[in-house]
Amino acid sequence: MSALIGFGSALLAIVLTPMLQHYFWRRQRHAELSLTVIERCVKLVAELTERLPRIQETKEWTDADKDLFRRWEALSLETRSLFSKSTVGRFSKLSELVVEFSNPLRTGGFRISDFDSARIDAISALYGEIGLTGEQVTGPGWWKVWRP
């Protein structure tokens, strides 16, 4: 009987181990790719925060602006591919403002308050999805249950 249990356990381990390893590898790789996209997004948003008001002031695009918006579009596509619909919805508000403010013919100027709140919400949503916001990292852990 013990030989049968040992054989069954070994067979189960042989079958389940590769599947579990693949599952955790995929999750880790997804988190790594997501974090890379978020880091690129933060850098691009910083560039856009500097450049969008100048586009509205000068009413013209430079070659550097065209390159910046190509990179933004590529990043937006990656974001739509990697993140959930709710996170992409929050990110889309920022993307809409980037498109709106990048139009040199647009009237009304650059509204930093709208852009600032949209970028904070978008970046928070991206970090929140991969579990790297403050409360998710340092939040209530099982060890706090034992403290009086």
CA–CA separation, 118 and 123 (whole Å):
9
> What is the full per-residue pLDDT of the chain (148 aa) written as tens digits?
788 788 778 777 788 888 888 888 998 999 899 999 999 999 999 999 888 888 878 878 888 888 999 999 999 999 999 999 999 999 999 998 888 877 777 777 667 888 889 999 999 999 988 886 656 555 555 555 555 5
Residue 145 domain-assigned (yes or no) = no
Residue 13 domain-assigned (yes or no) = no
How is residue 55 written in tokens? 């586009």
Range of the domain at 71: 28-132
Are 70 and 50 within 8 A, CB to CB?
A: no
**What's the pTM value of the predicted model, to 2 decimals?**
0.75
Residue 111 domain-assigned (yes or no) = yes
Residue 3 domain-assigned (yes or no) = no
Number of domains in the chain: 1
Residue 40 domain-assigned (yes or no) = yes
Q: E strand or H helix at 95, and its extent?
A: helix 85-102
